Amino acid sequence: MSVEQGKEKRRVRLWAVLFWMVVWQFASMWLDSDILLVSPVKVVFRLGQLMLTAAFWRAVCFTLSRIASGFFGAVVAGVILAAAASRFVRVQELLAPVVLAMKSVPVASFIILALIWFSSRNLSVLITFLMVLPMIYTSVLDGIRSVDSQLLEMARVFRIPGFRVVRYIYLPQIMPFFYSACSVALGMSWKAGAAAEVIGIPKGSIGERLQQAKVYLDTPDLFAWTLVIVAASLFFERIVLFLVRQIVVRCSVMRAQQ
C-alpha cells in the first residue's frame, strides 16, 4: 500500500464528525449537567474566549515546543542508533534491553520516576523522547535489514561511493518504514507529553490548565483544552508527515531511476 493510499484510508470524513457532534449534543441535553458533560456549543464558545487571551497562546507554544523537541530529538537519536545497531551486532545487543524497557514500562511510571530526577518544566521533552525513540529505532532498523542484498553487492562490485549507496539504495527502501513509524509516533508523542504535563504541572503549560480545570470542576475549560491538544496534535502531525511524504516521493523517484 502506497503512502497516498494510507493517507486516504485514514482521512476523517466530515459527516462522521458531525454525527458524533450531534450525539454529544443530545447526550449533554439528556444529562442536563455541565459538570458531567458540557455541550459542544459551550465548549466552542469557551474555546473562542480562551483564544482571545495571550496566556492561551503562550501555553500552546510552551507545550508544542517541548513535545516537538522531544519528538525530533527521538527521531535523530533513533536513526543514528538504528544505523549503529545494523552495523555492529554488539550495539544492537546492548540496546535491546533498553528498548524493551521503553516499550514495556507504562508512561505513568516513567513520568513519576523522571519527576524524582528532573524538573517538571522540561518533563514532557524527556517523556516524549522516551516514548518515540523505540518506535523510530525499531522501524528504521527493520528498514535497513530489508535493503536488497543484491543491490548492495552490486554497489560493492562497482565501487559506488558510500553516500551514493545511502542515497540511492538505503533511503528509498527505508523511508516507507520511517514514514509508518512517524505516523504512529506523532500521536503517541502528544499523548505522552500531555500526560507528563498533567502529572508534572509545569507552569504555563496546557497540562497545568487541564489540571486546574479538573480541580475546580470546570468542565467547559477541560473540554476546551482537550480540543486544543487534539488540534495541535493534528497540526503538528500534518506538517511532519507532509515533509516526510516529500522525502518518500523523492526516494521513490530515485529508486525508479536506478
User: Which string of DSSP letters, residue by residue, matches 198-239?
Assistant: HHH--TTSHHHHHHHHHHTT-HHHHHHHHHHHHHHHHHHHHH
**Angle of CA points 13, 16, 19, to nearest 5°:** 150
What is the structure's pLDDT at 1? 46
Amino acid at 169: I
pLDDT, position 46: 94
Question: For every one of its 258 residues, what pLDDT tens digit does the chain have, with 9 covering 90 and above?
Answer: 445 555 555 577 888 888 998 999 999 989 888 888 899 999 999 999 999 999 999 999 999 999 999 999 999 999 999 999 988 999 999 999 999 999 888 888 889 888 888 888 889 999 999 999 999 999 999 998 888 777 777 777 777 776 777 777 788 888 889 999 999 999 899 999 999 999 999 999 999 999 999 888 899 999 999 999 999 999 999 999 988 888 777 766 655 555
Return the pLDDT at 159: 73
Domain ranges of the chain: 53-256
What single-letter DSSP state applies at residue 160?
-
pTM above 0.85, yes or no: yes
According to the model, what pLDDT value does residue 149 have?
74
Q: Quote the pLDDT of residue 9.
A: 53
pLDDT score recorded for residue 115: 87
Cα–Cα nearest to 58, from 229, 230, 204: 204
| Residue 29, number of CB atoms within 10 A of its CB | 10
Q: Which CATH class for the 53-256 domain?
A: mainly alpha
Neighbouring C-beta atoms of residue 180, cutoff 10 Å: 17
Q: What is the pLDDT of residue 168?
A: 75
The whole-number pLDDT of residue 208 equals: 94
Listed residue (133, 144, 67) closest to 100, CA to CA: 133
Q: What's the rounded Cα separation, in Å, for the pair 221 and 209? A: 8
Are 152 and 165 within 8 A, CB to CB?
yes
Q: What is the per-residue pLDDT for 251?
A: 63
Cα 123 to Cα 244: distance, rounded to the nearest angstrom: 27
The per-residue pLDDT for 78 is: 95
Cβ atoms of 213 and 226 closer than 8 Å: no
At residue 176, the pLDDT reads 87
Q: What is the DSSP letter of 122?
A: G
